[in-house]
Amino acid sequence: MAYRQTPAVEARLQDNRGRILAAARSLVSEGGWKEAQVASVAAAAGMATGTVYRYFPSKADLFTEVLSAVSQREVDVLAEIAASGEPAPIRLHSAVVTFVRRAMQGPRLAYALIAEPCDKEIDAARLTYRAAISEVVRAIIASGQAAGDLRADVQADIAASVIVGGFMEGLIGPLSPLHHPQSGDPDSERDDSAQLAEHIARLACASLAPTPETRENTRRPA
């Protein structure tokens, strides 16, 4: 008869896996991909290095799952904004502002997720979630074009790629470890992040604001 794990064993295995992922995320948040080695993760999780490999066959497997879990949360947050009943321009602006402000709350982790050089397996996962974010933005744009709230003379998928690429590129400098050190004043840092988010969002949304010409084209029958 095949061996079946008891609830206690299953709970212990899940606890170990959770501790490993939490330790890995913490290390990436502190020092990026380069500083997050499997041995360091094991030490932070309070277990042997070999134990980590029982759950994750390779370093790439471990950190790809870390990236996937964090990135999926960001996709989910933007999807909630996209599903709200607000007009598309407001949803688009809110999505960009929210992404930027959340990134600035954990700059080292966000830099790792967006721009830091990494293993090809991790980079492939990063591109997958960037595409997922672009799809959320594309859906907002498409709904706004259908309602006449956003210019309709550009393809929604191309516009989404440009906007997502733009706000992620705009974050690289502020998120970079080479950026000037934080002030140490939480209120000042929040104000700076809010201002950055507004600037980036305004630039992103301005490219899709309807002009008199595009409004006329939208009203004109085919």
Q: What is the DSSP letter of 209?
A: P
**CA distances to 30, 106, 111, 116, 148 from 120, in Å:** 21, 23, 16, 12, 41
Q: What is the pLDDT of residue 1?
A: 46
Structural tokens at position 120 = 């090809």
Give CA 190 to chain center in angstroms. Answer: 19
Structural tokens at position 23 = 């330790």
Cβ atoms of 73 and 133 within 8 Å: the answer is no
pLDDT by position in tens, the chain (length 222): 455 667 766 777 788 999 999 999 999 999 999 888 999 999 999 999 999 999 999 999 999 999 999 999 999 999 999 999 899 999 999 999 999 999 999 999 999 999 999 999 999 999 999 999 999 999 999 999 999 999 999 999 999 999 999 999 999 999 998 875 565 677 888 888 999 999 999 998 998 998 766 555 545 444
Cβ atoms of 41 and 66 within 8 Å: the answer is no
Q: Which of 30, 38, 68 is nearest to 177 (CA)?
A: 30
Q: Which of 201, 221, 215, 106 is nearest to 153 (CA)?
A: 215
Neighbours of 12 (CB within 10 A): 12
Which residues, other chains included, contact 108 with Cβ-Cβ below 8 Å and sequence gap of 6+? 28, 29, 30, 31, 32, 175, 177
Q: What is the pLDDT of residue 216?
A: 55
Q: Which of 82, 72, 159, 58 is nearest to 113 (CA)?
A: 72
Equal CATH topology for 1-57 and 60-219: no
The CATH architecture of the domain made up of 1-57 is Orthogonal Bundle (1.10)
Neighbours of 99 (CB within 10 A): 25
> HSE (CB half, 13 Å, CA atoms) of 94?
17
Q: What is the pLDDT of residue 9?
A: 67
CATH 1.10.357.10 fits 60-219, yes or no: yes
Domain map (residue ranges) of the chain: 1-57, 60-219
pTM of the model as a whole: 0.86
Look up residue 195 and give its amino acid. Q
Q: What is the pLDDT of residue 189?
A: 82
